[in-house]
Structure 1
Amino acid sequence: MLRISGESLDVDAMVSECGLVAHRTWRKNEARLLKGKIHIDSGANFVASGADLDDFSGQVKEATEFLRNHSELVARMAAFPGVQTAVLDFGVSLQEGYVSQFCYLPTQLVQLAASASLALEISQYACSESDEV
């Protein structure tokens, strides 16, 4: 998931100028999904990969292709006035019973992300084998 946000970001202007379809947008001071919480910034998520949590290599492959196709556009979005955070976030499942887990980021992906001014993040979610991912 490509996530771009900032406290003073005009998310509607950024999304309309970028040409990519946002998966989700939010605005500062709007209610969050969590009861009683509000957003402290505005932002948008864009799908960089449709691969599941248990398909990290698929996420990496699709995100690399996404950046190959959209790196200049993503760099412009990361530099948009008010942007404080521009990150490519990989969601991975942590399977119970495993002692360790490794997530390899190829040089090409790292270079593409850096050239688009993106940080990289790996979000880990506890899952069991009976969970649907």
Structure 2
Amino acid sequence: MSVLRVYGQSLDLDAAIAECGLAVCATQRRGEARVSGSDRVFSQNAIFVEISAADIEDFERQVDDALSFLSQYQTEIADLVGTRGVEEAYIDFCIPRLDGAAQSAIFSTQLVRAAGRLNLGLCLSLYEVS
């Protein structure tokens, strides 16, 4: 799975969602509890848009889906990232964490350029998979 993550303390979530034209899969609001019953709260507002539903173990497909997404939604992404209050935006790719092994995942030059043109960073999140 890969997700476009857009963050900002003063980001107006409702206005950004209404104007972005992308299918938002989740949000977080500054001051809301991170986990129900927790004292820890989110420090920023955030919008999340699913880019790829590919399995966590299919990094190559996540990258291919991201390239298609960036190409198809250039205007919408640029508008969202350019919204007043946006402080950070990146694509988060999820892959399994391998115990005791060296691990790498290479972002293609094509993906790096496409993301860079839209002022997006790239993130690799490693998750333990049972």
TM-score normalised by length of structure 2: 0.92
Preserved contact between residue 71 and residue 115 of structure 1 (Cα < 8 Å): no
Unaligned runs of 5+ in 1: none
Q: Which residue of 2 aligns with 1:57?
A: 60
Equivalenced residue count is 127
Q: Which residue of 2 aligns with 1:79?
A: 82
Point out which structure has higher relative CO (alpha carbons under 8 A, 6+ apart). 2
The 5 A counterparts of 1:107-122 are 107-122=109-124
Q: Which amino acid aligns with 2:4?
A: L
Query: Is 1:69–2:72 an aligned residue pair?
Result: yes
| 1:39 equivalent among 39, 42, 47 | 42
Query: Is 1:94–2:100 an aligned residue pair?
Result: no
| 1:7 equivalent among 6, 9, 12 | 9
Percentage of matched positions with identical amino acids = 35
Post-superposition CA distance 1:50-70 (Å, at most 9, x none): 111111111101111110101
Displacement after TM superposition at 1:42 (Å)? 0.5
Give the Cα–Cα distance (whole angstroms) in 2 for the partners of residues 122 and 100 of structure 1: 15
SS of residue matched to 2:71: helix
Q: Which amino acid aligns with 1:96?
A: D
Post-superposition CA distance 1:42-97 (Å, at most 9, x none): 11100011111111111101111110101221111111000001010111101234
Unaligned runs of 5+ in 2: none
SS of residue matched to 2:35: coil
* RMSD over aligned Cα atoms: 1.2
Preserved contact between residue 71 and residue 112 of structure 1 (Cα < 8 Å): no
